[in-house]
Amino acid sequence: MSKSYFGTLLIILGFVFAHPAVLVRAQDPGEGSIVRDLTGGAALIFRAPANPAVHDTSSGSRGNVGGGKVGGHRTPKAAAGQQDQMIARGNAARSAANPRYAEAEQQYQLAAKLDPEDARAFVGLGNVFVDQGRFAEAVVAYQQAIKLNPNYQAAYMPLGFALARLNKYPEAISVYQEALKQDPENPEVYNNLGFAYNQSERYSEAMEACQRAIRLLGENGEAYKQGVQQRNEVLSYAYKNLGNAYNGLKRYDEAATALKKSSEIEPTNAAAHFNLGLTLYNAGRYSEAIESYKQVIKLRPNLAQAYFNLALPYYAINDKPAAMAQYETLKGLDAELAKQLYDAIKR
C-alpha cells in the first residue's frame, strides 16, 4: 500500500480532532475555563464572561464588567433603580452554585424590556445563552449589546466564541479584529483569531496571529499581564494553533517544532502529542511519530484514534507485527475503526 493512502487516512483523522467540542462552564464565575476539542489539539480560549455591572441596588451586589447605557441615553431615577435590581437578580441566578438559568434569563429579559437601550441587559442574556450552549441566541444578544454600546469590550470575546461554535468563522474573524482595536495586546484574542483563520484555511494569517500571541505572552516566563489566566495553558494553545497553521502550509518541520514546544509546556496534554505525531508522520519522520503516539496512549489509554494512527507509521517502516498489535487492541475499543485499520493494512 502506498504512503499516500496512509497519509490520507491519517490526515482525515487528525483534522476531525481539530474541531472544537462542548463548552465546559467555569466553576468560578468570571475566571473561566478553556474549551477543549476531543483531544485538545486546537481550540479557542474561552473565559466564562463575567456578569454585567450593577450600578446601585439595595443588595449591594456588583458585577465586575462595565458596559452600561448608550451615551446620551438617560433612564429616570426610579426606573434605573429597578433596572439595576433586575440585572442584579439575573447575575445572582446565573452565578449560583447551581445556576438558575431560566430565572436569570427572565430577569435580563425584563431589564431589556424596561430599558431597551441598556446594553448590560443584552450582555446578561448573551452570557446565559453561551453558558448553555445556545450559541445562535447568544450571537443575537451580544450583537444587540454592541450595537447599543460599541465600546462594551467584554461582549466581543464571547460573541467571537459563539460565532466560531456555529462555524461562522469569517464573522468570528471580524469580531476578533474589532476586539483587537480595543485591546491590541491581548494574546488570547490573537490566539482565537489564529484558530478562526486556521478553520478558514487562511494559514499565513493564522501563523502571524499565533506568533503575535506567543510574543505577547513572552518567552521568558513572565505572567500574562491580567494575572488570572494560566499562562502556560494559553501559551501551549498558541503553539498548537501555530503548529496547525504550519501544517496547513505543509511546512511540517516548523509545525513539528511548534507542537514539540506545546508538548513541553504541557507534557500531560495528550493533544499536543497527538498533533505532533500527525505532523511527524506527514514529514516522514516515522520513528518520532511512533514515540509521540505512544505518549498519547500513555496519557489516554482508551483513545481509539491513537492506536489507529500509531499503526500507520509502524506500517510505513515495515514493522507489520507492531501495526497488527495496534489493530488487536483497537478491536476492543472501536470495532468500526479497527475494521478500517485492518482493511488499510491488508491492502
User: Would you say residue 208 has pLDDT above 90?
Assistant: yes
User: Would you say residue 12 has pLDDT above 70?
Assistant: no
pLDDT given for residue 44 in this prediction: 82
Give the C-alpha separation, 4 to 93, whole Å.
55
Q: What angle do CA 326, 330, 331 make, to 5 degrees?
A: 125
> In the structure grid, which three cell numbers stand for residue 142, read together?
451580544
- Which residues lie across from 65 on neighbouring strands? 52
Long-range contacts made by residues 221-228, C-beta under 8 angstroms, separation at least 24? Answer: 224/187, 225/185, 228/31
* Average pLDDT over every residue of 208-225: 74
* Average pLDDT over every residue of 147-162: 95
* Angle between helices 135-148 and 156-165 in degrees, nearest 10: 150
Give the type of residue at 120. R
Residue 27 lies in a domain: no
pLDDT given for residue 221 in this prediction: 42
Give the C-alpha separation, 315 to 9, whole Å.
13
Q: What angle do CA 284, 288, 293 make, to 5 degrees?
A: 110
Residue 70 lies in a domain: yes
What are residue 52's phi and psi, to 5 degrees? -65, 150
Identify whether the C-beta of residue 115 lies closer than 8 Å to the C-beta of residue 66: no
Residue 281 lies in a domain: no
* 296-343 pLDDT tens trace: 999 999 999 999 999 999 999 999 999 999 999 999 999 999 999 898
Give the C-alpha separation, 335 to 251, whole Å.
34
Give the C-alpha separation, 156 to 179, whole Å.
6
Give the C-alpha separation, 127 to 309, whole Å.
39
pLDDT given for residue 42 in this prediction: 58
Q: Is 258 helix (H, G, I), strand (E, B) or coil?
A: helix
> In the structure grid, which three cell numbers stand for residue 6, read together?
496512509
pLDDT band of 231, cuts 50, 70, 90 = confident
H/E segment holding residue 138: helix 135-148
Give the C-alpha separation, 198 to 215, whole Å.
19
Residue 58 lies in a domain: yes
* Sequence-distant (≥ 6) Cβ neighbours of residue 275 within 8 angstroms: 14, 17, 18, 41, 42, 240, 243, 244, 247, 259, 262
Residue 302 lies in a domain: no
Q: Is 52 helix (H, G, I), strand (E, B) or coil?
A: strand
Give the C-alpha separation, 126 to 87, whole Å.
13
Split into its structural domains, the chain has a count of 1
pLDDT given for residue 41 in this prediction: 53
Most confident of 69-83, 174-188, 218-232: 174-188
Could you tell me the CATH number of the domain that includes residue 110?
1.25.40.10
Residue 110 lies in a domain: yes
* 103-139 pLDDT tens trace: 999 999 999 999 999 999 999 999 999 999 999 999 9
pTM (predicted TM-score): 0.78
* 17-62 pLDDT tens trace: 333 322 222 222 333 333 333 344 557 888 889 999 997 544 433 3
Q: Which residue has the higher pLDDT, 67 or 240?
A: 240
* Average pLDDT over every residue of 196-212: 96
Residue 158 lies in a domain: yes
pLDDT given for residue 75 in this prediction: 56
> In the structure grid, which three cell numbers stand for residue 166, read together?
456555529
Residue 83 lies in a domain: yes
* 165-197 pLDDT tens trace: 999 999 999 999 999 999 998 999 999 999 999
pLDDT band of 346, cuts 50, 70, 90 = confident
Domain with 108, as residue range(s), is 53-168
Identify whether the C-beta of residue 273 lies closer than 8 Å to the C-beta of residue 292: yes
* Average pLDDT over every residue of 136-163: 96
Identify whether the C-beta of residue 55 lies closer than 8 Å to the C-beta of residue 80: yes
- Which residues lie across from 118 on neighbouring strands? 69
Q: Report the percentage of the chain scoring pLDDT > 70.
A: 77
* 254-310 pLDDT tens trace: 999 999 998 888 888 888 888 889 889 988 999 999 999 999 999 999 999 999 999
pLDDT given for residue 129 in this prediction: 98
What are residue 132's phi and psi, to 5 degrees? -95, 5
